[in-house]
Amino acid sequence: MRVLAAMSGGVDSAVAAARAVDAGHAVTGVHLALSRSPESHRAGARGCCTVEDAHDARRAADVLGIPFYVWDLAERFEHDVIEEFVAAYSAGRTPNPCVRCNERIKFAAVLDRALALGFDAVVTGHHAQLSGAVLRRSVDPDKDQSYVLGTLRPEQLMHAIFPLGDTTKTEVRAEAARRGLAVADKPDSHDICFIADGDTGRWLRDRLGPRPGPVVDAVTGERVGEHDGAFAFTIGQRRGLRLGRPAPDGRPRYVLDISPVTATVTVGPAQALDVRDLVADVAVWPHEGPVACAAQVRAHGRAVPATAEAVGDELYIRLGEPVRGTAPGQAVVLYDGDRVLGGGHVRRFGRFGAGPRDAGRPGG
Amino acid sequence: MTYLDHAATTPMRPEAVAAYTAALAEAGNASSLHASGRRARRVVEESREALAAALRARPSEVVFTAGGTESDNLAIKGLYWARRAVAPRRHRVLVSAVEHRAILDAVFWLAEAQDAQVELLPVDATGMVHPDVLAAAIVRDPDSVALVSVMWANNEVGTVSPIAELAAVAHGFGIAFHTDAVQAVGSIPLSFEDSGADALTVSAHKLGGPIGMGALLVRRGLALAPLTHGGGQERDLRSGTLDTPGVAAFAAAATTAVHERPVEAERLVALRDDLVARVLAEVPDAVVNGAPSGPGLLPGIAHLTFPGCEGDSLLLLLDAHGIECSTGSACSAGVARPSHVLLAMGVDEARARGSLRFSLGRTSTRADVDALVKVIAPVVERARRAGALAGLSGG
């Protein structure tokens, strides 16, 4: 096959491209330039968006002896990922930009262009197993990335190749060293690639400007503090609330709800964060009736027992045990063992305790 | 392999390789006073005379540098600093809108850091700078102009500007005139003496010499401040131990290139015109950019827009067929930007992105053109499919 290897400049995508070459594919490497004004060198350990990362990717392609190009997707990325990220925070949701990037950039804009140019598939260094359109977790539970791929549609997955799903990260690094790839010991990337210092709150404040409002206690209804932008908060957040007074029970308080219209941040006790029911939009759900499964709502979260059922264009999910700190906008991915059954994006939820949102139930 | 990117760099000529390797075997610093030094000095000075002869300049006007970019920087900054030192009011810098980045980024730096006021001289739809445009820009306030720089021939579309007329306009107001002749030397008739230019940039590797070697021709008596300070080897305008093998190879390449030019240019014009005609036959809606074939266009350059395509898609697909060409100028991260040259010529952004430069040179043959013509139609068709996704309009 003619395949396009997306090469971030990191170790995973370099080894994935190498394995595609070994598999006998005609591989072309592409580095996706996602930033409009790339920094020339990495400030932190993010590792995908700088000129230095493009250079690392080019060096890996040189070692593999494959053609290499840089594709400028900065405009698409700005529009489809960054602007959406800002809009979601402004609306009180908690987006996952990596999920979004996979949905809209890597397995959409890049894949579509690759197919148009005559390639058969896109190869990435994601840690997940794929056969046909069946996605499974990586054998390395610490590095498994099936969650950030879990909302991809079958027609997207049909043209994807993830060569690393059967290998642990440690083995990938060892293999990179064996292959003479200089990125073998490059630090893992983490956090959000376009927020250089990892301070999402400040990044949003710089972008959106201050929008002050009250912090209100859900239990007492009292105004317990002020903030200069509700977008800097995430549901479930505990640190950085800077509340003047302790809660009446002396227990820590968490962000329970964000109301962007009134700029109100509601805080309360941890148990009020426990979510029992989720309603998601349907990204992928090729199943009829209620399905017993396990639900995961965060990239590094645990999957909990659940029952999921599609009703209209929504997916109703009842969790067998409470999940703490779920926020609208997050992806929910449903598994049967290590197999991804489908998923969507959380629209609303219901809590065990008296929550501000009511998920409702099918038929009632 | 079909190499159609000679304007980026062209293979070294056998004469240059011979001169280079002969000099590499000899030790000697041209600034040393002993016998080895004298031998190296002799090679340098003979080469300087040969280069001057090839470019119709005096040997003393040749300042060797490490390439075109350094020569451009020396000319722009050196002229600006020297002029402002005696006439502080002269802060306007006039350069064409289609200059190479070595000029543009140098003048933008002057604007940012040295109070220069940069004015980009507009070009016509072919990329040519008209003397009356330059005159109009100067007369707005002649006493505030520090320098004028206009490239002899454009590196992307190949259009030649009337350098002697432009230099005369500048001189009419007592303003120094520089020209970047990197693409012109060895391709079209060129005489430093007759051009009237005060300074002229030339690069070795574009005419079959080694990479990392160049020269700035500097008219005698021109006030120019140095960029680098040190041993003052080149008329105190450029310091650094002279690259004797590079100098020798540069002179050998330039001598041969200029000597062979009349015959070679005729051959390349025929080959290029054939390429353009046959590509247009395969892709009828392709658009030829730059000046029409003739003395106003570099012999080896064909620059075409393929509507509905993205240049880097075309590049990738042609590369896969073993055909090497260019979208013009690439930025350091390898990200393709719409060419500032085409934008200055009035081409819209989408079309500017869908353009390719095919540049022919000494080793180009009819077989290279055949190879391109054979694949261009399916390549453009495929690139259009990808371009449609990006929202580029076809046709």
Q: How far is A221 from chain B (nearest CA, A)?
A: 51
In the predicted structure, residue A247 carries a pLDDT above the cut 90: no
Flag if B334 and A70 touch (Cβ within 8 Å).
yes
CA dist., res. B276 & res. A231, Å (int): 57
Instruction: State pLDDT tens for residues A8-59.
Output: 999 999 999 999 999 999 999 999 988 776 655 444 444 456 788 889 999 9
Tell me which residue of B148, B191, B181, B237 sits closest to B54, measured CA to CA: B191
Name the residue facing A113 among B336, B337, B389 (closest C-beta).
Answer: B389
In the predicted structure, residue B342 carries a pLDDT above the cut 90: yes
Q: What is the pLDDT, as a whole number, of residue A12?
A: 96
Top pLDDT among A184 and B240 is at B240
Residues 6+ apart with CB under 8 A from A14: A7, A57, A60, A64, A125, A176, A181, A183
What's the gap between Cα B239 and its chain centre?
A: 23
Q: What is the pLDDT, as a whole number, of residue A124?
A: 97
Flag if A112 and B335 touch (Cβ within 8 Å).
no
Note whether B207 and B185 are within 8 A (CB).
yes
Please report the number of interchain residue pairs, chain A to chain B, with beta-carbon separation below 8 angstroms: 49
H or E element that contains B180:
strand B177-180
CA angle B202, B63, B146 (to 5 degrees): 80
CA terminus-to-terminus distance, chain A: 51
Model confidence at B111, in pLDDT bands (50, 70, 90)? very high
CA dist., res. A207 & res. A87, Å (int): 11
Mean pLDDT within B186-215: 98
Domain map (residue ranges) of chain A: 2-185, 210-268, 274-351
Rounded percentage of chain A residues whose pLDDT exceeds 70: 91
Domain map (residue ranges) of chain B: 2-8+261-389, 14-256
Instruction: State pLDDT tens for residues B278-292.
Output: 999 999 999 999 999
Name the residue facing A117 among B336, B337, B382 (closest C-beta).
Answer: B382
Using only the alpha carbons of chain A, give its radius of gyration: 21
Model confidence at A112, in pLDDT bands (50, 70, 90)? very high
Note whether B224 and B237 are within 8 A (CB).
yes
Note whether A255 and A266 are within 8 A (CB).
yes
Mean pLDDT within B174-203: 98
What residues of chain B lie within 8 A of the CB of A33, using their CB? 333-335
Model confidence at A355, in pLDDT bands (50, 70, 90)? very low
Mutation site for B-interface testing, chosen from A8, A40, A56, A72 by largest number of B Cβ within 10 Å? A72
What are the C-alpha distances in Å from A267 to residues A221, A241, B187?
10, 9, 75
CATH topology of domain B2-8+261-389: Aspartate Aminotransferase, domain 1 (3.90.1150)
Q: What is the pLDDT, as a whole number, of residue A39?
A: 58
CATH topology of domain B14-256: Aspartate Aminotransferase; domain 2 (3.40.640)
Model confidence at A7, in pLDDT bands (50, 70, 90)? very high
Mean pLDDT within B314-318: 95
Q: What is the pLDDT, as a whole number, of residue A259?
A: 86
Mean pLDDT within A50-74: 92
Q: How far is B383 from chain A (nearest CA, A)?
A: 6
CA dist., res. A195 & res. A86, Å (int): 12
Tell me which residue of B161, B194, B170, B179 sits closest to B298, measured CA to CA: B161
What residues of chain A lie within 8 A of the CB of B386, using their CB? 113, 116-117
Q: What is the pLDDT, as a whole number, of residue B211?
A: 97
Q: What is the pLDDT, as a whole number, of residue A72?
A: 87
Structure tokens at A176: 């990179």
Tell me which residue of B389, B388, B387, B378 sits closest to B355, measured CA to CA: B387
Return the CATH number of A274-351, one of 1.10.10.10, 2.130.10.10, 3.40.50.300, 2.40.30.10: 2.40.30.10
Mean pLDDT within B41-61: 97
Model confidence at A81, in pLDDT bands (50, 70, 90)? very high
Residue B326, classed as helix, strand or coil, is strand
Mean pLDDT within A80-108: 91
Model confidence at A219, in pLDDT bands (50, 70, 90)? confident
Instruction: State pLDDT tens for residues B378-391.
Output: 999 999 999 888 76
Torsion of CA B46, B49, B51, B56, to 10 degrees: -170
What's the gap between Cα B150 and its chain centre?
A: 11
Flag if B389 and A33 touch (Cβ within 8 Å).
no
Flag if A69 and B316 touch (Cβ within 8 Å).
yes
Provide the 10 A C-beta neighbour count for residue B155: 26
Mean pLDDT within B166-182: 98
Flag if A117 and B315 touch (Cβ within 8 Å).
no
Mean pLDDT within B133-150: 98
Mean pLDDT within B178-204: 98
Instruction: Please tell me which residue in A49, A98, A193, A293 is annotated as part of the active site.
Output: A193
In the predicted structure, residue A180 carries a pLDDT above the cut 90: yes
Mean pLDDT within B357-376: 98
Top pLDDT among B393 and B225 is at B225
Model confidence at B59, in pLDDT bands (50, 70, 90)? very high
Active site residues of B: 331
Model confidence at B333, in pLDDT bands (50, 70, 90)? very low
For chain A, what is the largest distance between any 2 Cα atoms, rounded to a whole number of angstroms?
66
H or E element that contains B265:
helix B244-282
Flag if A58 and B383 touch (Cβ within 8 Å).
no
Tell me which residue of A122, A38, A81, A12 sits closest to B335, measured CA to CA: A38
Q: What is the pLDDT, as a whole number, of residue A352?
A: 54
> Which pairing describes strands B145-149 and B92-96: parallel, antiparallel, or unpaired?
parallel
Model confidence at B294, in pLDDT bands (50, 70, 90)? very high
DSSP designation for B65: E
Q: How far is B385 from chain A (nearest CA, A)?
A: 6
Query: Interface of chain B against chain A, CB under 8 Å?
Result: 312-313, 315-317, 319-320, 332-337, 382-383, 385-386, 388-390
Mean pLDDT within B221-240: 95
In the predicted structure, residue A269 carries a pLDDT above the cut 50: yes
Mutation site for A-interface testing, chosen from B332, B335, B339 by largest number of A Cβ within 10 Å? B335
Ramachandran angles phi, psi of A243, nearest 5°: -85, 135
What residues of chain A lie within 8 A of the CB of B322, using their CB? none
Residues 6+ apart with CB under 8 A from B366: B271, B274
Model confidence at A239, in pLDDT bands (50, 70, 90)? confident
H or E element that contains A225:
strand A223-227
Flag if B382 and A109 touch (Cβ within 8 Å).
no
Residues 6+ apart with CB under 8 A from A190: A45, A46
What residues of chain B lie within 8 A of the CB of A70, using their CB? 333-336
Query: Which residue in B has a C-alpha nearest to residue A41's C-alpha?
Result: B333
Tell me which residue of B5, B45, B48 sits closest to B206, measured CA to CA: B5
CATH topology of domain A2-185: Rossmann fold (3.40.50)
Name the residue facing A117 among B313, B332, B334 (closest C-beta).
Answer: B313
Note whether A157 and A121 are within 8 A (CB).
no
Q: What is the pLDDT, as a whole number, of residue A360?
A: 44
CA dist., res. A28 & res. A2, Å (int): 8
| Amino acid, res. B270 | A
β-sheet bridge partners, residue B11: none
Ramachandran angles phi, psi of A216, nearest 5°: -120, 140
Flag if A113 and B313 touch (Cβ within 8 Å).
yes
Query: Which residue in A has a C-alpha nearest to residue B318's C-alpha?
Result: A117
Name the residue facing A38 among B315, B333, B382 (closest C-beta).
Answer: B333
Model confidence at B274, in pLDDT bands (50, 70, 90)? very high
Q: What is the pLDDT, as a whole number, of residue A205?
A: 86
Mutation site for A-interface testing, chosen from B316, B319, B327, B385 by largest number of A Cβ within 10 Å? B316
Flag if B390 and A58 touch (Cβ within 8 Å).
no
Note whether B135 and B169 are within 8 A (CB).
yes
Please report the sign of the dihedral spanned by the C-alpha atoms of residue A133, residue A139, residue A145, residue A151: positive
Q: How far is B363 from chain A (nearest CA, A)?
A: 24
Residues 6+ apart with CB under 8 A from B291: B126, B127, B128, B157, B158, B159, B160, B297
Mean pLDDT within B261-290: 98
Query: Which residue in B has a C-alpha nearest to residue A40's C-alpha?
Result: B333
Write the CATH number of the domain with boundaries A210-268: 2.30.30.280
Flag if B333 and A116 touch (Cβ within 8 Å).
no
Mean pLDDT within B239-252: 97
**Predicted-complex ipTM score:** 0.86
In the predicted structure, residue B168 carries a pLDDT above the cut 60: yes
Query: Which residue in A has a C-alpha nearest to residue B337's C-alpha?
Result: A72
Tell me which residue of A70, A67, A74 sits closest to A21, measured CA to CA: A67
Q: How far is B349 from chain A (nearest CA, A)?
A: 14
